[in-house]
């Protein structure tokens, strides 16, 4: 599966990159946004692309060399460290920072780390196995029932969090739960019959919750937003694409608070969504919401 950059046209319109400017793509992934921005800022500009999963910058390095792109700085790191990354690479006045949140088609299709409930893989779910010891398997097999229920309810907004966490505890008494297929079976046994027939797969919210917990996605996002505004140049723009309500709420509230303080001005009173054509060509874009603010 080829990763398609979501809301690319809208991001480019809002950033309006000019020759010689500096940008950061804090979630570089397949490089769709970063390469398009790099083309516009030209050889005198630069784009720093960050990704916590070292496989992705490595793949993009090969791709950018083939395309003869020389103004792309690729960094394997957590975007929570964006401030120190900007200092380390002497990025100077930053015109824009993009966060395209959530996991990529690579993580589902190729990583083999259990991000998808449709594949039978080890219960890992780490973006960076090298820098993170916590796995989904560890949560499922060692955390107390109340803690599992809490993350399912808060990070997954799972209405049957209590029943699923109870089912997990009962199942792990018999044997270690180590694969996605085993977890999906437990979820399916634990929820009411009607839930199995709903539009959304019954494991969707549990898998989302575990992924967020394993990678501390919400905590990292809150820190990264704070530091991103700090390192932006005057009138620099921060753009965030989110895919679920938890992320969007953090971004919305952060923008509101900083706007009240006068440190930023919100450019999108309502989030920008994809056009029908983009949703048709890339169904993943359906739930995308883009919020943008500028530093005052």
pLDDT, residue 3, reads 60
pLDDT score for 122: 97
What is the longest distance spanned by two Cα atoms in the chain?
A: 62
Residue 286 pairs in a beta bridge with none
Residues 224 and 269 in one domain: yes
The per-residue pLDDT for 80 is 97
| 191, part of any domain | yes
Domain that holds residue 82: 8-106+217-295
Residue 197 domain-assigned (yes or no): yes
DSSP, collapsed to helix, strand or coil, labels residue 283 as helix
What pLDDT, in 10s, does the model give residues 27-46?
999 899 999 999 999 999 99
Report the alpha-carbon distance of residue 222 to residue 80 in Å, rounded.
8
2 band by pLDDT with thresholds 50, 70 and 90: very low
pTM summary value:
0.93
Q: How many domains does the chain have?
A: 2
Domain of 181, CATH number, reads: 1.10.150.170
Cα–Cα dist 249/127, whole Å: 23
């Amino acid at each position: 599966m080829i990763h398609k950059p979501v809301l690319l046209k809208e991001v480019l319109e809002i950033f309006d990159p000019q020759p010689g400017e500096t940008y950061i793509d804090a979630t570089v992934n397949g490089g769709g946004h970063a390469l398009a921005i790099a083309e516009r800022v030209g050889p005198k500009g630069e784009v720093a692309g960050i990704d916590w999963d070292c496989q992705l910058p490595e793949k993009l390095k090969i791709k950018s060399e083939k395309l003869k792109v020389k103004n792309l700085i690729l960094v394997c790191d957590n975007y929570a460290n964006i401030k120190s990354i900007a200092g380390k690479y002497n990025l100077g006045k930053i015109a824009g920072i993009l966060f395209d949140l959530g996991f990529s088609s690579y993580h589902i299709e190729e990583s083999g780390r259990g991000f998808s409930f449709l594949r039978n893989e080890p219960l890992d779910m780490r973006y960076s196995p090298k820098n993170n010891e916590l796995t989904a398997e560890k949560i499922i097999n060692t955390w107390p029932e109340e803690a599992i229920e809490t993350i399912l309810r808060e990070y997954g907004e799972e209405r049957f969090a209590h029943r699923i966490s109870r089912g997990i505890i009962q199942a792990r008494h018999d044997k270690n739960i180590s694969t996605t297929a085993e977890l999906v079976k437990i979820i399916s046994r634990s929820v009411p019959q009607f839930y199995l027939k709903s539009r959304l797969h019954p494991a969707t919210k549990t898998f989302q919750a575990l992924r967020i917990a394993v990678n501390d996605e919400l905590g990292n996002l809150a820190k990264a937003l704070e530091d991103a505004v700090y390192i932006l140049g005057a009138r620099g723009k921060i753009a965030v694409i989110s895919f679920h309500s938890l992320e969007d709420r953090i971004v919305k509230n952060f923008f509101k608070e900083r706007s009240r303080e006068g440190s930023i001005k919100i450019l999108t009173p309502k989030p920008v969504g994809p056009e029908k054509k983009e949703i048709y060509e890339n169904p993943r874009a359906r739930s995308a919401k883009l919020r943008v603010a500028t530093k005052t």
